[in-house]
Amino acid sequence: RGGPRVAGAVVSGAGMAAAAARGCPPAGSGDRALAELLLEFSRAQYRAKDGGGAAVERIERRCLELFGRDYRYSVIPNVHGEVCAHYPRHIVFLERDAGASRDSFESTVQVGKLQDLINRSKMARCRGRFVCPVILYKGKHICRSATLAGWGELYGRTGYNYIFSGGSDDAWADAEDISEEDSALRNADSQLFDKVRGHDIKLLRYLSVRYICDLMVENKKVKFGLNVTSSEKVDKAQRYADFTLLSIPYPGCEFFKDYKDRDYTAEGLIFNWKQDYVDAPLSIPVSLTQSLNIDWSEYQSWDLIQQTQNYLKLLISIINSDDDSGLLVHCISGWDRTPLFISLLRLSLWADGLIHTSLEPSEILYLTVAYDWFLFGHMLVDRLSKGEEIFFFCFNFLKHITSEEFSALKSQRRKSLPPGFTLEEICMLKQKDRGSTTSLSSDFSLGMESSPGATGSFTYEAVELMPAGAQAQAAWRKSCASSPQAVLWSRAQQSEDRLSSTGMVEVKSSSSSSSTHSDNFLRIGSSPLEVPRSRLVSASDRESRLEEVRSAFLASYSRTIGLKAVPPSPSGAIGGLLEQFVRGVGLRGSSTL
C-alpha cells in the first residue's frame, strides 16, 4: 500500500494511512466533504503559516489519504510556511505506484537531497514558489512553480515572500527606488542571478525536467517601471539554454471576468493580443508540434475553448514522448493559470486510467480541488469578488476534453501504428467491416483487441497489419473521401503544420480568424450548468468519467458558492440555468449542508 516518508525518514505506511484517515469524512460522504472544502476555499486563502483550524486539517489529511491509495510518497514539511508561505504544509513527493513491481516506473529522486535543493533554490522564483513535482506519470515528474523572480523582487526587500501584496497577478508591491540600469549594481546583480538561478537549474535537472512551458503573455512583468519578474525565455545569460523552452501565452485570471460577464460562455471569447503589455509570442519547437495537426499560426484567432484544448493536447503530447524527461508548467505567480492546466492534466490522465487508478470520480475531484487549487494558494475569495472565475472554468471545461483526441492512450497507440495509415483510418476500416477482425481486402489484414492500458475502457489497437503499397493506400483513401469522418480527417491533414525551417514555431500575429480542426469535435452545448444528457450510444469510459467529475463539481458548487447573477441576456439569465441544473441533479435551490 502507499505510505509516506517525512524528510527522508521512512514511516509506517499502514500507520500513516490510518492517521491520515482520522478526521476524514467517512466513505459515502464525498458530496459533503467536497461541499465543506468549497466553503472553506471560498472563505479565505490558504496560508501554510496560519494553520487554518480543524477544517483545513481535515482537508490536508484527506489529501494524504487519497495520494496514499495509489502511491508511495514522501512528505516535505512546510508546517509554518518556512519553505513557501502559499504551498501546502505537507508537500507530497510521489515516488512510485504503491503496488508496483520493481520493473515499474519509479522516481530516482532522494527526498533528502530534494529538500536541500528546494531550500537553496526557492528565492529564484516569484513569491518563493519553487519548482514542485505534483504528478508522477510513467516515472516522469510533472511540476509547477511561479516564474523567475526579477531584479525588483531579489533586491527590493528582504523577506521575499512578503514583497508582493495579495491579490491578482497584477497586484505587485512597490520596490525600492533603484534603477536596474544602475551600473554600480550590475556586477553584483549578475553574481546574484548566477547563484540563485543556478540553484533553480540544479533542482530542475535533479527532477529530470527538460520541458518548461511558460504561460505568461509577457516576457517580463513590469510594474512601476521595474522588471519585477522575469522568465526563462528572456534570461540574458542564457542559463536555461539546455532546456526545451515553450512560450505558450495564455490569458491571465483577469480575462475570466469576460467569461463570467458572457454568462459563463467561452465559445467565441477571444483574448485581445494587441494590448501594450502583451509581448510574448507563441514559440514551440517544431519537433513537438508535427504530430498534432494544429495550425499554430492561428493562435491569436482561437477562442478560449480552442486555446485551452490545443495547449492541453500539446502538454499531453510532451509527457507522452519516449524520453524520460519531466515537465514544468508555470505562469507568473503560479496560482491561476498553472493550477488550471495541472488540474486538467491530472483529470485527463486519471480518466484514461493512467494515474490515481483506485480513485472514484468524487475522490479525484476532491484531490485536485484541494491540492492543486486550495493548498497551493489559489485566491478564490479575491477571484470571486472580481468575477475572475478561472476556477469554475476549469471544471466546467471538462465537457470539452471528453473526446479521444485528448487521450494519452491514443497517443501511445499511435506510436505503434505502421507507416502509411493513421489510427483514424484504421478505425474507419473497422467501422466499414464490423463483422470481421481479419482482412478487409486482399492487400492487408487487421486485428483488433482491447487495450489493457486503461481500467475499464475499450479501445482499438492495431495488432497485425501488413501495409499495401502506396497506390493501394491512396486508392482506399480516395474511396472513403465522401464520408463525413474522412472529410474531417482530410481537413486535418491539409492543415499540417506550416512551420518555419528554423526548428521553432514562433508566431507574433495572425490575420486569419479560422479555427483549428479540433473545434469540430467538441462543441457540446454552451450552458455552463447544462446537465450532461443521456446519449443514444454508450459513452466511452473516458467521457463518462469526466462527465461524472463535472456533474459532481457543478452540483456541489451550486449548493455552496453558486454562480453570480448577470444581467439578462438573449441566452437567458444564469439564475435560470442554475435552477435548471439543480432540478436536473435532484437538488433544491435552497439546499444547505
pTM more than 0.75: no
Report how far residue 153's alpha carbon sits from residue 228's, in angstroms, rounded to the nearest whole number: 6
CA distances in angstroms from 559 to 234, 325, 565, 585, 588, listed in the order given: 45, 42, 15, 11, 8
State the pairing for strand pair 9-10/4-6: antiparallel
Return the sign of the alpha-carbon dihedral for residues 431, 433, 438, 440.
negative
Does the annotation mark 331 as catalytic?
yes
Q: What is the pLDDT along the chain (593 residues), one digit of tens a residue?
A: 455 555 543 333 333 444 444 344 443 467 899 999 999 999 999 999 887 789 999 999 999 999 999 999 999 999 999 999 999 999 999 999 887 655 566 667 889 999 999 999 999 999 999 999 999 999 999 999 999 988 777 765 334 343 443 433 333 333 333 444 444 445 566 788 888 899 999 999 999 999 999 999 998 776 655 566 788 888 888 899 999 999 999 999 999 999 999 999 999 999 999 999 999 999 999 999 988 999 999 999 999 999 999 999 999 999 998 888 999 999 999 999 999 999 999 999 999 999 999 999 999 999 999 999 999 999 999 999 999 999 999 999 999 999 999 999 975 655 544 444 444 544 444 444 434 333 333 333 323 333 333 333 333 232 223 333 444 444 434 444 433 333 333 333 333 333 443 455 555 443 333 333 333 333 333 445 544 433 322 348 999 999 999 999 999 999 999 986 555 544 444 444 443 443 333 343 333 33
- The residue from 24, 126, 213, 331 that is catalytic is 331
Domain map (residue ranges) of the chain = 4-406, 419-496
CA distances in angstroms from 160 to 49, 83, 151, 155, 330, listed in the order given: 15, 12, 12, 9, 19
